[in-house]
């Protein structure tokens, strides 16, 4: 592994920070939008040559009525929808901007005239982590009256969860309560959001076209020929156009005795296709395990070779189920559609009864569990139509380019267990850890989980299980940067001897003086559970000294149990050692969030 600095476009005159912005801007754009960006830049260049400055043209744009497309996005789907809508608006000569809710200046809200909100919901009905401050403002007492605002809300969620699309629903109701006028009813999207999101975006676009005036001197779409006709234009991989990466290494990093094997993967990652920074995630498209697909066909007495037409495409049933449909994750619509075909009274009770019991089934069962437990007949077309489209899985990147060059490392926990004597696997982890020589991947930028710009700042990195992956990237980067800040890792794993992921690397970093403190919480090495939050409390006095000295806090891993427990422990530490009351400790941590000194990447 050589230390090669990352330069996504080697011959570019742009500094790296601008290149990153360019990559983020263009990622996921369709050909029309990319041509627009190209034409926009050409227009600015021509204006500069003619003595007009870019400032002049943008100030005219600012005078025009502008649409704001605000996104509260966790996995990047919301960001992509928002950026695409803003690009479509701009390509029609309308003034528009896409802004992350975490970056949005809330004082602008009172001035908005046309607002599109794309918001996803997580955990217990919560907005994404970095959108919390915006939601707090919107729902709080300081929110302005919005009688002049027209708005539309697109909700992204997962119907497996009881509080489906809750965050967007609350925002929608609040906007209406503040006097704003909805231009169209909120659309709630399940995991297969593409169709509904496209229809909503089209409605949003049409409304803007009818109500906003195109700017007279707005940059127009002009198509400029490439400078060198022979030079291939490299477009970074996106979710829809992933890069096929060679797998360079696959290594189990848990001991033989571990009941939860974890693999370390290294893949080839050319910088022009897969530009990434520590904190980012990699999206991976997988295939479903053939034995699960074969079993589904067997249970339903369907032939995998038969052709099935759906949404204008024809493939064999086997192809649909292997590469294009979710066959492990159950969803509410699939459960309900199956119940409508089944005569089993227990299934009817489940559908009509307790929401928590239903949510537990959706969370813990796979499609096969449903088909085997409550038999019902599906035709091949019906089954393909009912199952959700396959979605890529996101993994935190465990490497820094400054350390590994044109490679990307990831850490994958395998899901492989028996349910009532039958083997069940996690589709993506099974695929990733099998022998597939190549993976289809793309980078999902994660700007809410970044290293501080200041290399002198201390870092406290708290994580459990595979949640330790980004800290490997952080430490590699800080080492390559020659950062002088101190590092403290608090890591939770099942057992010290078998599950201490990257143990040799942490110990080597400790020896080199790169990692000043290392605390492991091995939960299953003793009768009572010991978790990272116990270590936080035990080390509270020292932790407070780090925090008071300006350290940044990072938390990565499980969102539903670990993150709230770690937060509670941090509140305790701030109270006990910082002399705060419960309320002011909460406020203190909220301030750290606002200063981007308390960052969480949890799901
Ligand atoms: P795991 O091995 O199942 O668990 C890691 C450790 O966390 C175990 O020692 C476990 O203890 C402990 N734990 C359980 N409940 C806890 C709690 N309330 N507070 C603190 N620790 C607790 O973990 P994994 O399979 O590698 O995955 C960890 C989680 O992180 C998954 O939910 C995964 O989706 C998530 N993850 C998130 C990111 C990200 O946000 N970027 C990246 C990677 C992984 P016991 O099991 O013994 O109780």
Q: Which atom of ligand 1 is nearest to the CA of 532?
A: 20
Q: Are 291 and 252 in contact (CB under 8 A)?
A: no
Distance CA 479, CA 54 (A): 39
The pLDDT tens digits of the residues spanning 157-191 come to 988 788 899 999 999 999 999 999 999 999 999 98
Q: Indicate whether 10 pLDDT > 90.
A: no
Q: 3-state DSSP call for residue 524?
A: coil
The pLDDT tens digits of the residues spanning 198-255 come to 999 999 999 999 988 776 444 443 333 333 444 455 678 999 999 999 999 999 999 9
% of the chain surpassing 70 pLDDT: 87
Alpha-carbon Rg for the chain in angstroms: 25
Regarding the beta carbon of 494 and ligand 1, being less than 6 Å apart is answered: yes
- Ligand 1 centroid to 316 CA: how many Å? 38
Q: Quick one: tokens of 27?
A: 């990622």
pLDDT-derived band at 5 (thresholds 50, 70, 90) equals very low
Q: Indicate whether 27 pLDDT > 80.
A: no
Regarding the beta carbon of 522 and ligand 1, being less than 6 Å apart is answered: no
Regarding the beta carbon of 602 and ligand 1, being less than 6 Å apart is answered: yes
Tokens 């459990």 belong to: 464
Q: Are 531 and 464 in contact (CB under 8 A)?
A: yes
For residues 375-388, average pLDDT: 95
Distance CA 419, CA 426 (A): 13
Q: Would you state the pLDDT for residue 490? A: 98
Three-state secondary structure string covering 323-337: HHECCCCCCHHHHHH
Q: Indicate whether 16 pLDDT > 70.
A: no
pLDDT-derived band at 598 (thresholds 50, 70, 90) equals very high
Three-state secondary structure string covering 376-403: CCCCHHHHHHHCCECCCEEEEECCCHHH
Kindly report the protein residue whose alpha carbon is nearest to atom 6 of ligand 1: 493
The arrangement of strands across the sheet holding 517-522 comes to 517-522, 487-493, 459-464, 552-557, 598-602
Distance CA 278, CA 459 (A): 14
Regarding the beta carbon of 529 and ligand 1, being less than 6 Å apart is answered: yes
Q: Would you state the pLDDT for residue 117? A: 98
For residues 70-79, average pLDDT: 92
Q: Indicate whether 54 pLDDT > 50.
A: no
Task: Look at 36 and 258; give whichever has higher pLDDT.
Answer: 258
% of the chain surpassing 90 pLDDT: 73
Tokens 């139509």 belong to: 385
Q: Would you state the pLDDT for residue 177? A: 97
- Ligand 1 centroid to 562 CA: how many Å? 7
Cβ neighbours of 193 (radius 10 Å): 24
User: Which of 443, 10, 491, 530 has the alpha carbon at shortest distance from 237?
Assistant: 443
The pLDDT tens digits of the residues spanning 299-326 come to 999 999 999 999 999 999 999 999 999 9
> Which of 18-32, 46-60, 348-362 has the weakest average pLDDT?
46-60
Q: 3-state DSSP call for residue 302?
A: coil
Q: Which atom of ligand 1 is nearest to the CA of 522?
A: 9
- Ligand 1 centroid to 507 CA: how many Å? 21
The pTM assigned to this predicted structure is 0.80
Q: What is the DSSP letter of 213?
A: P
| Ligand 1 mutation target, pool 252, 465, 563, 565, most atoms within 8 A of CB | 465
Q: Which helix (H) or strand (E) holds 423?
A: strand 422-425
Distance CA 417, CA 425 (A): 6
Task: Look at 476 and 41; give whichever has higher pLDDT.
Answer: 476
- In the chain, count H helices and then E strands: 23, 21
Interhelix angle 54-63/31-49, rounded to 10 degrees, is 120
How many angstroms separate the Cα of 101 from the Cα of each of 105, 216, 279?
9, 29, 19
Strand partners, 462: 490, 555
Q: Are 464 and 562 in contact (CB under 8 A)?
A: yes
Distance CA 44, CA 57 (A): 8
Q: Would you state the pLDDT for residue 38? A: 67
pLDDT-derived band at 29 (thresholds 50, 70, 90) equals low
Kindly report the protein residue whose alpha carbon is nearest to atom 19 of ligand 1: 562
Q: What are phi and psi of 533, to 5 degrees?
A: -65, -25
For residues 502-518, average pLDDT: 97
Q: Indicate whether 395 pLDDT > 60.
A: yes
Q: Quick one: tokens of 438?
A: 């190549």
pLDDT-derived band at 18 (thresholds 50, 70, 90) equals low
Kindly report the protein residue whose alpha carbon is nearest to atom 26 of ligand 1: 465
Longest pairwise C-alpha distance within the chain: 77
Regarding the beta carbon of 601 and ligand 1, being less than 6 Å apart is answered: yes
The pLDDT tens digits of the residues spanning 542-597 come to 999 999 999 999 999 999 899 999 999 999 999 999 999 999 999 999 999 989 99
Regarding the beta carbon of 465 and ligand 1, being less than 6 Å apart is answered: yes
Q: Quick one: tokens of 523?
A: 């939960």
Give alpha helix (H) positions in 264-319. Answer: 290-300, 317-319
Distance CA 2, CA 473 (A): 15
Q: What is the mean pLDDT of the chain?
A: 88
Distance CA 487, CA 478 (A): 9
The pLDDT tens digits of the residues spanning 339-367 come to 999 999 999 898 888 888 888 898 889 99
Kindly report the protein residue whose alpha carbon is nearest to atom 24 of ligand 1: 465
Kindly report the protein residue whose alpha carbon is nearest to atom 1 of ligand 1: 465
For residues 103-115, average pLDDT: 93
N-terminal to C-terminal alpha carbon distance within the chain: 31
Q: Would you state the pLDDT for residue 9? A: 44
> Which of 7-11, 429-433, 450-454 has the weakest average pLDDT?
7-11
Regarding the beta carbon of 102 and ligand 1, being less than 6 Å apart is answered: no
Q: 3-state DSSP call for residue 126?
A: strand
pLDDT-derived band at 430 (thresholds 50, 70, 90) equals very high
Instruction: Concatenate the DSSP letters of all residues of 451-497 into one string.
Output: --S-TTS-EEEEEEGGGGHHHHHHHHHHHHHT--S-EEEEEEES-HH
Task: Look at 50 and 266; give whichever has higher pLDDT.
Answer: 266
Q: Indicate whether 7 pLDDT > 70.
A: no
CB contact set of 28 (below 8 Å; sequence gap of 6+)? 80, 83, 84, 238, 239, 240
Q: Would you state the pLDDT for residue 603? A: 83
Q: Which atom of ligand 1 is nearest to the CA of 559?
A: 32
- Ligand 1 centroid to 603 CA: how many Å? 10
Q: Indicate whether 43 pLDDT > 50.
A: yes
Q: Would you state the pLDDT for residue 230? A: 46
Q: Would you state the pLDDT for residue 455? A: 97
Task: Look at 385 and 224; give whichever has higher pLDDT.
Answer: 385
Q: Would you state the pLDDT for residue 77? A: 93
């Amino acid at each position: 592994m050589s230390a090669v600095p990352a330069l996504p476009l080697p011959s570019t005159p742009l500094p790296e920070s601008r290149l990153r912005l360019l990559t983020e801007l263009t990622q996921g754009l369709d050909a029309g939008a990319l041509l627009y960006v190209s034409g926009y830049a050409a227009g600015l260049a021509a204006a500069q040559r003619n003595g007009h400055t870019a400032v002049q043209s943008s100030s005219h744009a600012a005078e025009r009525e502008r649409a704001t497309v605000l996104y509260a996005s966790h996995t990047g789907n919301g960001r992509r929808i928002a950026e695409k809508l803003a690009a479509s608006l701009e390509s029609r000569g309308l003034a528009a901007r896409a802004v992350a809710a975490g970056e949005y200046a809330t004082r602008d809200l009172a001035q908005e005239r046309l607002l599109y909100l794309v918001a996803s919901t997580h955990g217990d009905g919560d907005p994404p982590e970095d959108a919390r401050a915006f939601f707090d403002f919107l729902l709080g007492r300081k929110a302005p009256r919005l009688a002049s605002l027209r708005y539309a809300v697109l909700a992204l969620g997962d119907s497996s969860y009881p509080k489906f699309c809750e965050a967007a629903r609350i925002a929608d109701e609040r906007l209406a309560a503040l006097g704003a006028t909805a231009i169209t009813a909120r659309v709630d999207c399940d995991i297969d959001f593409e169709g509904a999101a496209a229809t909503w975006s089209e409605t949003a676009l049409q409304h803007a076209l009818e109500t906003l005036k195109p700017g007279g001197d707005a940059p127009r779409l002009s198509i400029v020929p490439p400078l060198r006709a022979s030079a291939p234009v490299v477009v970074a991989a996106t979710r829809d156009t992933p890069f096929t990466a060679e797998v360079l290494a696959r290594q189990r990093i848990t001991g033989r005795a571990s009941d939860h094997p974890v693999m370390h993967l290294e893949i080839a990652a050319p910088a022009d296709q897969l530009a990434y920074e520590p904190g980012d995630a990699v999206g991976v498209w997988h295939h479903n395990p053939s034995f699960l697909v074969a079993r589904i066909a067997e249970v339903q007495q369907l032939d995998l070779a038969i052709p099935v037409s759906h949404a204008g495409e024809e493939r064999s049933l086997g192809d649909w189920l292997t590469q294009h449909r979710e066959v492990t994750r159950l969803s509410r619509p699939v459960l309900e559609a199956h119940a409508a075909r089944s005569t089993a009274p227990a299934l009817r009770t489940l559908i009509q009864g307790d929401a928590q019991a239903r949510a537990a089934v959706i969370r813990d069962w796979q499609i096969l569990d449903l088909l085997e437990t409550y038999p019902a007949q599906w035709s091949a077309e019906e089954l393909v139509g009912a199952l959700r489209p396959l979605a890529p899985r996101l993994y935190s990147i465990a490497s820094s380019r400054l350390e590994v060059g044109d490679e990307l490392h990831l850490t994958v926990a395998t899901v492989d267990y028996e349910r009532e004597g039958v083997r069940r696997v996690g589709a993506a982890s099974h695929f990733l850890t099998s022998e597939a020589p190549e993976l289809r991947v793309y980078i999902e930028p994660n700007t809410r989980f970044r290293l501080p710009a200041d290399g002198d700042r201390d870092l406290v990195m708290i994580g459990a299980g595979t949640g330790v992956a980004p800290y490997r990237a952080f430490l590699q980067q800080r080492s390559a940067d020659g950062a002088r800040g101190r590092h403290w890792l608090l890591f939770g794993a099942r057992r010290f001897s078998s599950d201490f992921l990257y143990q040799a690397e942490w110990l080597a970093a400790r020896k080199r003086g790169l990692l000043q403190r290392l605390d492991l919480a091995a939960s299953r090495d003793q009768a009572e559970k010991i978790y990272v939050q116990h270590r936080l409390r035990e080390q509270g006095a020292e932790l407070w000294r780090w925090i008071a000295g300006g350290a940044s806090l990072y938390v990565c891993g499980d969102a539903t149990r670990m993150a709230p427990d770690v937060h509670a422990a941090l509140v305790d530490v701030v109270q006990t050692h910082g002399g705060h009351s419960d309320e002011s400790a909460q406020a203190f941590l909220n301030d750290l969030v606002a200063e981007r000194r308390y960052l969480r990447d949890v799901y």
